[in-house]
């Protein structure tokens, strides 16, 4: 068949084909499929509130209702004068079949109706056949889907009109009663499906939120570690540059140094320059393309007063208290302490507007202790919501230095951050000069330092 001979089906024809396919799918395919009715869930909204013993019995309520309806059909058939037992037993079998083979039960009910009409004297819809047909359609519709209910009602209506010779008055009671019953079942079915879809959507949203929160925390953690790596790069690069410069200048400070000593200093310098090169490569992995290295040196506790002055200008009343003998700490510790105080004060500005803050710095033998505490928020400005990223960054810095940190709400409604950063005892530094080679050092120091600075900038 050529393309010009091919005709597109009309919408009406496609709708009819879809309807017939639905009929075959619902009432003709897998007619004898074994689908036992499952018990109710013991975790239902009402069942879970019952005692344990009663709960085990209540879950079988649908089965008891179906068997009770079968018993009613049996009793209705027994009221007939002719063939009492058969008039009740055959339709009751169709009702009981809905527990295991629902589609076969519908067709069995149709056959039972013909059987009762032939043996009985009350026409097509005798009491037992009438009750059995309604019960079967309701149970099957409840166990399948609303579309199946429509097909069963349509088939039943055509079946009654056909056997009664087109007289609608005989099948009208069955059609009206079953229509109302099936409509109620369909509405319950649709509502239950809608509630299930809502629960599924809520579950998916909850899972997605959980995954998003985990990913956000992980991304925040990586960002904080990257920031720390960038800052420590400047600290380490400075010390390695000093090592390289001193190793280059050391031979000029010794008169007639042995070759072994000169070679040792050359090796030290080469290793320092190589370390700077590797440090630059590692940092390039974690540094963003748009990252610009700061021009100013990394801050320390010596410039903490400037930070406090800045936050006071924003309206945060801040008090600083220092205990112990103030001394210079390793630059990494100084930088971390400064950043922790900076982040704690920033959190106070965001989450406790109008509060006061107190910064306590304690210099002890084993390290340095920090305590930043603020009062409850005051005033009309509402606190800004936060995601805990600042606390994550503080913990990363403390963990990097093997320190300890606690952060929790205070009893008065404020917040307190307490940190201890250990500092190992510094080794005794050798004298920078031994009294020899001063003249050579003074002559060559500028040239050597300039050379090493250029090399350091090019490699780190």
At residue 346 the predicted structure's pLDDT band, cuts being 50, 70 and 90, is confident
CB 381 within 8 Å of CB 347: no
Model pLDDT, residue 428:
34
d(CA 179, CA 236): 84
This model's pTM is above 0.85: no
Over 90: is that where the pLDDT of 53 sits? no
Find tokens 């097909």 and name the residue. 151
Q: How far is CA 38 from the centre of its chain?
A: 33
Model pLDDT, residue 104:
93
Q: Reduced to 3 states, what is the DSSP secondary structure of residue 317?
A: strand
Considering the chain, what percentage of its residues have pLDDT values greater than 90?
A: 24
Model pLDDT, residue 1:
43
Model pLDDT, residue 273:
77
Cα distances (Å, whole numbers) of residue 173 to 125, 142, 178, 180: 9, 21, 8, 11
Q: Between residues 245 and 332, which one has the greater pLDDT?
A: 332
Model pLDDT, residue 429:
39
Quick count: other Cβ atoms within 10 Å of Cβ 207?
Answer: 10
Quick count: other Cβ atoms within 10 Å of Cβ 455?
Answer: 19
Give mean pLDDT, residues 265-275: 79
Cα distances (Å, whole numbers) of residue 431 to 195, 435, 448: 81, 10, 20
DSSP letters spanning 114-153: HHHHHH-SS-SS-HHHHHHHHHHHHHHHHHS-HHHHHHHH
Considering the chain, what percentage of its residues have pLDDT values greater than 70?
A: 80
Helices assigned H by DSSP within 164-258: 168-249
Sign of CA pseudo-dihedral 276, 278, 279, 280: positive
What value, to the nearest 5°, has the Cα angle with vertex 397 and ends 340 and 410?
Answer: 50
Model pLDDT, residue 352:
84
At residue 388 the predicted structure's pLDDT band, cuts being 50, 70 and 90, is low
Q: Between residues 82 and 174, which one has the greater pLDDT?
A: 174
At residue 335 the predicted structure's pLDDT band, cuts being 50, 70 and 90, is confident
pLDDT tens profile 390-413:
788 788 889 888 999 999 988 888
Model pLDDT, residue 391:
83
Q: For strand 404-409 and strand 367-374, is the pairing parallel, antiparallel, or unpaired? A: unpaired
Backbone angles phi, psi at 175, to 5 degrees: -65, -45
Model pLDDT, residue 3:
45
Average pLDDT, the chain: 79
- The H or E element spanning position 322 is strand 317-323
Model pLDDT, residue 107:
94
Structure tokens at 202: 């809520």
d(CA 187, CA 179): 12
2 backbone φψ class: left, alpha, beta (φ>0; ψ -120 to 50): beta
């Amino acid at each position: 068949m050529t393309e010009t001979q091919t005709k597109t089906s009309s919408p009406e024809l496609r709708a009819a084909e879809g309807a017939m396919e639905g009929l075959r799918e619902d009432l003709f395919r897998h007619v004898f499929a074994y689908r036992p009715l499952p018990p109710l869930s013991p975790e239902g909204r009402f069942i879970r509130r019952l005692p344990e013993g009663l709960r085990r019995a209540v879950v079988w309520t649908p089965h008891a209702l179906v068997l009770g309806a079968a018993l009613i059909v049996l009793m209705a058939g027994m009221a007939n004068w002719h063939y009492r037992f058969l008039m009740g037993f055959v339709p009751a079998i169709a009702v009981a079949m809905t527990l295991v083979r629902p589609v076969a039960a519908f067709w069995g009910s149709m056959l039972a109706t013909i059987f009762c009409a032939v043996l009985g004297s009350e026409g097509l819809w005798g009491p037992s056949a009438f009750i059995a047909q309604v019960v079967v359609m309701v149970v099957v519709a409840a166990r399948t889907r609303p579309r199946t209910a429509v097909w069963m009602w349509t088939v039943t209506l055509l079946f009654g009109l056909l056997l009664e010779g087109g007289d609608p008055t005989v099948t009208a009671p069955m059609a009206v009663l079953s229509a109302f019953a099936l409509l109620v079942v369909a509405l319950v079915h649709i509502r239950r499906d809608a509630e299930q879809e809502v629960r599924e959507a809520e579950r998916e949203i909850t899972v997605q939120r959980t995954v998003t929160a985990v990913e956000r925390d992980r991304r925040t953690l990586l960002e904080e570690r990257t920031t720390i790596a960038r800052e420590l790069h400047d600290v380490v690069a400075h010390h390695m540059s000093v090592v390289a410069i001193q190793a280059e200048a050391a031979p000029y400070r010794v008169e007639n140094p042995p070759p072994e000593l000169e070679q040792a200093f050359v090796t030290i310098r080469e290793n320092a320059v190589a370390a700077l090169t590797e440090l630059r490569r590692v940092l390039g992995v974690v540094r963003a393309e748009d990252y610009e290295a700061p021009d100013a040196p990394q801050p320390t506790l010596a410039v903490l007063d400037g930070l406090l002055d800045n936050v006071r200008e924003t309206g945060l009343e801040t008090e600083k208290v220092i205990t112990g003998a103030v001394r210079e700490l390793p630059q990494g510790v100084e930088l971390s302490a400064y950043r922790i105080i900076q982040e704690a004060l920033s959190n106070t500005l965001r989450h406790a507007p109008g509060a006061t803050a107190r910064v306590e710095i304690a210099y002890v033998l084993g390290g340095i202790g920090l305590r930043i505490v603020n009062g409850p928020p005051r005033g009309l400005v509402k606190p800004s919501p936060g995601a805990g990223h600042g606390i994550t960054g503080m913990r990363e810095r403390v963990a990097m230095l093997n320190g300890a940190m606690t952060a929790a709400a205070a009893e008065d409604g404020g917040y307190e951050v307490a940190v201890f950063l250990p500092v190992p005892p510094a080794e005794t530094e050798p004298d920078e000069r031994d009294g020899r080679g001063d003249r050579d050092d003074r002559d060559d120091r500028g040239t050597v330092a300039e050379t090493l600075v250029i090399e350091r900038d090019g490699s780190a």
